[in-house]
Structure 1
Amino acid sequence: MRKLVLFIASSLDGYIARPDGGVDWLFTDQDYGYQAFYDSVDGILLGRRTYDQALSVGDYPYPGKRAWVFSSRPLSWMGEGVEAVSEPVGDYVARLKLEAGGKLWLVGGAALIKTCLERDLIDEFIVSIHPLILGGGIPLFPSTESSRRLTLTSVQTFDTGLVQVSYERARKSPAHIG
């Protein structure tokens, strides 16, 4: 069974992007483990707005990887290995996880993350917390009635103040914690 991994950056106050979707605040001075992580996955899951945002900054950033873009509208550009998915997210991702293959990277956005969280599909959470307060924007975890207990697997700090925390889904935790 494939693992679904959320590998994402967040501001200290819990936002993954500015209100307009901008991510100009992300640190680009170091790799922060990105390349090793990217090399470890063979599939990428994106929401439509995240996909469009990725295309707006230059060349397609995920060459050589199979990508599924969840959207109810046709994509303006589909590179090699990119597939548009209009089926319900939870069922489709659950089927992908049952296929043979390596890890799947849940890139974002927030709505896709929320659905995967509510369906308990995310196996690992790797969050790079930037020492920055945005004061508003797109939250990492939109409001949901779904609670999950996680187990800390590692913490890595960087001279820039960035902290990368890694968690996995707690093994014997109830789906809802009240």
Structure 2
Amino acid sequence: MRKIILFIASSLDGYIARPQGEIDWLFTDQNYGYSDFLNSIDTIIMGRKTYEQVLTFGEYPYQEKKSYVLTKNINFQAEHDVTAVADLETLVKDLRRLDGKNIWLVGGSLVIRDFLEKKLINELILSVHPIVLGEGIPLFATPTTATNLQLTGCQTYSSGLVQLFYDVVG
């Protein structure tokens, strides 16, 4: 069965973006396993706010992947051959039935919370950047369902970034 993997970066104090969504603090000096990860997936799921943030980067970076945007706005129109979806559980059930590679849960924190609550995440890869932002958008929106994780790996980089690999238990 296809796995849903949360591959995401956070600051040391647990933020995935500055208060207005800025991610200027993320390291871009190395690949940090991103290319290998991208080759292991063929489908992307993200929240509407994350999708809109991605659109500010210029060219849509996931054109070769099937992409879905979760939104409660029934009038939302996605671009770049991205499908807008309201029913998260039906989407995941349908995707897991299809043959293919793993599925990347991109974010944001509200979508992550929903996936954790419904026990839909199989793995978590967290790239912790050695910076304290002090405020911003948290990795886990509160309240978040308690979730047990098992550490399966750890990779350190010369930049100070630490990448943690977890399986979701249960």
Q: By the TM > 0.5 criterion, same fold?
A: yes
Q: How many residues align?
A: 168
Q: Tell me how far 1:102 sits from its aligned partner.
A: 1.3
Match of 1:137 in 2: 136
Q: How does 1:103-142 map to 2 (within 5 A)?
A: 103-142=102-141
* Contact 2:109–2:140 under 8 Å retained in 1: yes
TM-score, reference length from structure 1: 0.90
| Cα distance in structure 1, aligned partners of 2:133 and 2:140 | 15
Determine what percentage of the aligned residue pairs are the same residue.
49
| Cα distance in structure 2, aligned partners of 1:56 and 1:26 | 16
| Cα distance in structure 1, aligned partners of 2:83 and 2:112 | 18
Match of 1:176 in 2: none
Partner secondary structure for residue 27 of structure 2: coil
Match of 1:74 in 2: 76
Q: Tell me how far 1:145 sits from its aligned partner.
A: 4.9
Q: Tell me how far 1:39 sits from its aligned partner.
A: 0.9
Residue identity in the other structure for 1:102 = K
Residue identity in the other structure for 1:22 = E
Partner secondary structure for residue 38 of structure 1: helix
Q: How does 1:6-85 map to 2 (within 5 A)?
A: 6-71=6-71, 72=73, 73-75=75-77, 77-80=78-81, 82-85=82-85
Cα RMSD (Å): 1.3
| Cα distance in structure 2, aligned partners of 1:97 and 1:132 | 36
TM-score, reference length from structure 2: 0.94
| Cα distance in structure 1, aligned partners of 2:135 and 2:64 | 34
Q: What 5-or-longer segments of structure 1 have no aligned partner?
A: 174-178
**Alpha carbons of 1:145 and 1:41: their partners in 2 closer, same or farther (altered >3 Å)?**
closer
Residue identity in the other structure for 1:8 = I
